Amino acid sequence: MRDVPITSDPADDVSLRARAAKLASVLQLPAGHHGAPHAAVSAAVSLVVTRDRLELRLAGDPRGVAPQFERIDVTSGPGRSLQTPLLKAAGIRKGNPYRPRVVDATAGLGEDAWLLAAAGCEVIAIERHPAVVAVLMDAVTRAATHNAGVAARITVVHADARVALAAFARGEGPVAAWGKPDVVHLDPMFPDHAGRKTAERKPMRVLRLTAGNDDDADVLLPAALATAGRRVVVKRPAHAPPLGAAAGPACTVSYAGKAMRYDAYVV
Ligand SMILES: C[S@@+](CC[C@H](N)C(=O)[O-])C[C@H]1O[C@@H](n2cnc3c(N)ncnc32)[C@H](O)[C@@H]1O
């Protein structure tokens, strides 16, 4: 996990500068240089406050990354077929109104959380990197203007999932009203380039440079298994070994997606 400086753009907008300074103090991240060019910022990634949104920018690249939930297709045939393996792994069946309450313990930029919420699930989305949390919260707030119902089903929590899941297993925290969450979803970073034939998409590259490689991910599986009421769902690259392969239990069933699969552990 890296320190990500907070900047604003355009640099001459004093209200953006003030927002950036406030955010830096709330998130306990360093203040960076304001405005473009971002090559002036020595860090690989900056959190940038713009007039429209919060975004993560690579040094020297003025085009930032932020979730754009309104662009996620969940209505056309191809859009739904991308969503289907995740929903099946979470125990959602066509024609059955059951919708699990989900803890997405590695929320990142929130695409999976959005897909689950769009299907009708209540989702608690946990993320540990403060800059990623800020970008995700901002995106969910923006999304409420075009899809209030889905956005309202997502609660973003800034925490380390190892700590949060242990608290949830004791019935504490935002899941208290649920009893146990039905499903815990895990999607830690996969080691760079391993098991992947194509280049990493820019959002994932930026996320990796921000959050790191999640080398401690194996411990999340036992924590998730101890917390979930019904299932743990783990997203993996298509040909990757299961999470915690050496020590972990075998998954109950896998659902293949385009370049990834979802391993479901029924508890
Ligand atoms: C591959 S990304 C998740 C992508 C996400 N599923 C999506 O659809 O955008 C992994 C994220 O999990 C977060 N993460 C990894 N381990 C974590 C932990 N123990 N607690 C909270 N967040 C964690 C990382 O900071 C990173 O943002």
pLDDT of residue 195: 53
Ligand 1 mutation pick, 2, 45, 68, 127, max ligand atoms within 8 A of CB: 127
Interval 121-177: pLDDT, tens:
999 999 999 999 999 999 999 999 999 999 999 999 999 999 999 999 998 888 878
Measure 12 CA to ligand 1 centroid, in angstroms: 34
Q: For residue 115, give the ligand 1 atom closest to its CA.
A: 8
- Measured from the CB, is residue 130 less than 6 Å from ligand 1? no
pLDDT single digits (tens) 11-23: 899 999 999 999 9
> Residue 205, Cβ neighbours under 10 Å: how many?
15
**pLDDT tens-digit profile of 209-238?**
999 999 899 999 999 999 999 999 999 999
Q: For residue 121, which amino acid is it?
A: C
For residue 129, which atom of ligand 1 is closest to its CA?
25
Give me the residues paired with residue 124 across strands.
103, 155
pLDDT at site 143 = 98
Report the nearest atom of ligand 1 relative to the CA of 188. 10
Distances (CA, A) of 207 to 4, 23, 109: 11, 19, 8
Q: State mean pLDDT over 15-39.
A: 81
- Rounded Cα distance between 208 and 212, Å, is 5
pLDDT of residue 38: 46
Residue to mutate (ligand 1; options 189, 209, 243; most atoms within 8 A of CB): 189
Which residue type occupies 122? Answer: E
Percentage with pLDDT > 70 across the chain: 94
Reduced to 3 DSSP states, what percent helix, strand and coil does the chain have, rounded to the nearest 5?
35, 20, 45
- The confidence band for 193, taking pLDDT boundaries of 50, 70 and 90, is low
Q: Cα 219 from chain centroid?
A: 18
Using a 6 Å cutoff on CB, does residue 161 contact ligand 1? yes
| CB of residue 200 inside a 6 A radius of ligand 1 | no
Q: Is 87 helix (H, G, I), strand (E, B) or coil?
A: helix
Phi, psi of 83 (to 5 degrees): -80, -30
CB within 8 A of 211, min separation 6: which ones? 1, 2, 108, 128, 129, 132, 189
Atom of ligand 1 nearest to the CA of 114: 8
According to DSSP, residue 231 is labeled: E
Angle at the Cα of 29 (from 24 to 30), degrees rounded to 5? 85
The finding on whether 165 has its CB within 6 A of some atom of ligand 1 is no
Question: Both tokens of residue 32?
Answer: 């960076």
Nearest to 24 by CA among 5, 8, 11: 5
Nearest Cα residue to atom 1 of ligand 1: 189
Tokens standing for 227? 């917390």
Tens digit of each residue's pLDDT (9 = 90 or more) over 79-91:
888 888 999 999 9
Minimum-distance ligand 1 atom for the alpha carbon of 189: 1
Q: Which helix (H) or strand (E) holds 165?
A: helix 161-169
Residue 212 CA from chain centroid, whole number: 14
pLDDT grade, residue 43 (50/70/90)? confident
Please give the backbone phi and psi of residue 232, each rounded to the nearest 5 degrees, phi first.
-115, 135
Provide the residue type at 110 as one letter. Answer: G
Q: What is the pLDDT of residue 121?
A: 98
Q: Which residues have CB under 8 Å from 218's CB, separation 6+? A: 243, 244, 247, 248
Rounded to the nearest angstrom, the distance between the alpha carbon of 265 and the centre of ligand 1 is: 19
Q: Where are the alpha helices (DSSP H) in 71-129?
A: 77-89, 111-118
pLDDT digits (tens, 9 = 90+) for 244-265: 877 778 999 999 988 899 999 9
- Residues facing residue 256 across a β-bridge: 261
What count of other Cβ atoms lies within 10 Å of the Cβ of residue 134? Answer: 23
